[in-house]
Chains A and B, each alone.
Chain A
Amino acid sequence: MNTIVVQNLVKHFSTALKANGSFYQRIKNYISPRHYTVVAVDNISFTLKAGERVAFIGPNGAGKSTTIKILTGIMQPTAGYVEVLNQKPNIHRKQLTYQIGAVFGQRSQLWYHLPVQETLALLGAIYDIPSVEYQKRLGDLTEKFNIVPLLNKPVRQLSLGERMRCEIVASFLHKPSVLFLDEPTIGLDITAKTIIRDLIKEQSEQQGTTLLLTSHDTDDIEKVCDRVIIIDKGKLILDDSLNNLKTNYIRKKVVSVVTEEEFITWDRVGTTVLMRSPHHLKIEIDLTKNTTEKVIAEFLETYTLKDLTIEGPSLETIIQTLYRHDITQ
């Protein structure tokens, strides 16, 4: 079952031109301003199934936030079709709010001076959760996210990691079917990041919550998501599984060899020597011109190998390459 359907989504913004020049021109522009159109989202289509965990990424200004605001019903699309949980967000925004949730890493939904428990109780009231049901969910979530000792602490006394755990509990409290996560681990240390990622993934798996994650941290994507959608300048440039992304979009690999021979000479098509020292050679293979198998076979023919390692680029490098449109279409 599809939880999110986006077909040929387009969003234009009309922005007033800022007037420069004489006082008269400025007044004229103020009275009758000239506008120009900015294409924020340019004909994108994708669908998300129930329980899918999808990274929705792109460079700054790519149109991610605009798309998410359209999906939540806060903005109206210029053209195209959007459906979230079988409802049109711009028409059924209020009904949809009961079924969606959001975590914004750089914002807080907790009341700063009051204990966490009070905000959670307020959210229970806002989402009309029956008292018994609320107590049950609160018990489950607080135990799972290990925030029981934090419940009576004022939010201002919490560390960022503790606060984020509470924020996520607050977002899961009404059992949303779709959760939008915007930089949920921003500013956290490595341990806190790992905990948050694991908890989000576990909760999504257990509840069948569809996740749409926006993050510049590729570890968030790798640890939480199974699928990646990349947009740039409003256009969808990639929609694929994380595994496919790692295997299909790698243009370069690095091979390091340790040989019995002290001196290694190497000059083959599609390879670049990165480091050379006695018994050791590190080369980069351009996979569009040569293959790893061929290069290794040639090594084995010429030298006696003691050790061999093959490294692929990190997800970050792959995504950076995609952002630069440096990939063969």
Chain B
Amino acid sequence: MILPNKYKAIISMAIRQQLVQWSQLVGRIILYGVIVYLFYQVFQSVKAEPNRVWYLAITEWVILSTSSVAFQISRDIQSGQIVYFMLRPMHYLVFRFCECMGTSLVRFILLGFCCFLLGFFLIGAMPEKTYLWTWITGILFSILGVLLYSLILVLIGLLSFWIKEIQVLVYLNLTATFCFGGLIVPLDFYSDFLKKISFCTPYPWILWWPAQWLTDTVNLSHAFLGWSFWMFFLVICIGILYEKCLKFFVVEGG
């Protein structure tokens, strides 16, 4: 699929806007460093294997890279700014998604450097799987994780048409990511029942899959199929919901 030039231009603008807001980037890097360091200390005290720190560094990398597109969409809907965007020859949601991708890309690259520097500095060694292609595919999978997570946030943002305050939903989503995605502890540590529940949600394909691929083993075809299913499912849901939102917008004003 070829992305039209207008959407490429939006991604490029978002990248520049994110680079200009360097203080926000520094804050995010500090937050990332503190989280990884704290858990490194915790894992050391329980004598966990070094790969656990790498696992956490990778999952946090994915989560902190993703732009808060849900709040952006919510603000547009609540303030009526969405009307301004709908008067342009572009798809509003694709515009916001591209903007989110641009912002996330800058964060992903910077936090990626931090992830490997910090991981190497704290552990003193790379994860066990150090083949170059493993790393390249691992990074690609992490990008896919960011994509999937962004789609969930777009879906939550759209719910602003009905729910005035989406903050609760965003926090619930974060909690679900924490629990079902294996943000801190890999899903292999879960009981069978909890693991089954987790795999019924999209969250393992956001965090567990890329982190597990880089630090342990994972069935690549299963993982990719699961990711594709959730991407397809979410795109369909967002499409239907957006159409409903437009109808609602037409009815209620805005």
**Neighbouring B residues of A109 by C-beta, 8 Å:** 84
Beyond A75-B250, A125-B5, whether A114 also contacts B88 by CB under 8 A is: no
Tell yes or no: B81 within 8 A of A by CB.
Answer: yes
Q: Mark B129-171, 1 if CB is under 8 A from A, else 0.
A: 0000000000000000000000000000000000000000000
Give B15 Cβ to nearest chain A Cβ, in Å. 11
**Neighbouring A residues of B10 by C-beta, 8 Å:** 122
Using a Cβ–Cβ cut-off of 8 Å, how many residues does chain B contribute to the interface with A?
25
**Neighbouring A residues of B8 by C-beta, 8 Å:** 125
B83/A13 in contact, CB under 8 A = no
Beyond A13-B253, A76-B250, A125-B5, whether A154 also contacts B20 by CB under 8 A is: yes
Q: Give B91's nearest chain A residue, CB to CB.
A: A94
| A to B CB contacts below 8 Å, 14 in the list | A15-B252, A72-B86, A74-B83, A93-B86, A94-B89, A97-B88, A97-B89, A114-B17, A118-B16, A122-B13, A126-B6, A126-B90, A127-B89, A128-B5
**Neighbouring B residues of A128 by C-beta, 8 Å:** 5-6, 89
B6/A111 in contact, CB under 8 A = no
**Neighbouring A residues of B13 by C-beta, 8 Å:** 111, 114, 118-119, 122
Beyond A113-B17, A113-B21, A121-B9, whether A14 also contacts B89 by CB under 8 A is: no
A125/B17 in contact, CB under 8 A = no
Tell yes or no: B87 within 8 A of A by CB.
Answer: yes
Q: Mark A180-224, 1 if CB is under 8 A from B, else 0.
A: 000000000000000000000000000000000000000000000
**Neighbouring A residues of B88 by C-beta, 8 Å:** 97, 126-127
Bound together, the chains give a CA A104 to CA B79 distance in angstroms of 13
**Neighbouring A residues of B251 by C-beta, 8 Å:** 13-14
**Neighbouring A residues of B9 by C-beta, 8 Å:** 121-122, 125-126
Using a Cβ–Cβ cut-off of 8 Å, how many residues does chain A contribute to the interface with B?
33
Within 8 A of B (CB), among A91-150: 93-94, 97-98, 100-102, 104, 107, 109, 111, 113-114, 118-119, 121-122, 125-128
Bound together, the chains give a CA A40 to CA B250 distance in angstroms of 12
Tell yes or no: A43 within 8 A of B by CB.
Answer: no
Tell yes or no: B249 within 8 A of A by CB.
Answer: yes
B81/A114 in contact, CB under 8 A = no
Additional A-B contact list (19), CB under 8 Å, known A72-B83, A74-B83, A107-B81 = A69-B83, A69-B253, A74-B249, A75-B249, A97-B88, A102-B84, A102-B87, A107-B79, A107-B84, A109-B84, A113-B17, A114-B20, A118-B16, A122-B13, A125-B6, A125-B9, A126-B9, A126-B88, A127-B89
Give B11 Cβ to nearest chain A Cβ, in Å. 11
Among B17, B87, B250, the residue within 8 A (CB) of A97 is B87
B89/A114 in contact, CB under 8 A = no
Tell yes or no: A66 within 8 A of B by CB.
Answer: yes
Q: Give A124's nearest chain B residue, CB to CB.
A: B9
**Neighbouring B residues of A154 by C-beta, 8 Å:** 20
Among B81, B83, B89, the residue within 8 A (CB) of A126 is B89
Bound together, the chains give a CA A67 to CA B58 distance in angstroms of 51
Give A111 Cβ to nearest chain B Cβ, in Å. 6
Bound together, the chains give a CA A88 to CA B137 distance in angstroms of 49
Give A76 Cβ to nearest chain B Cβ, in Å. 5
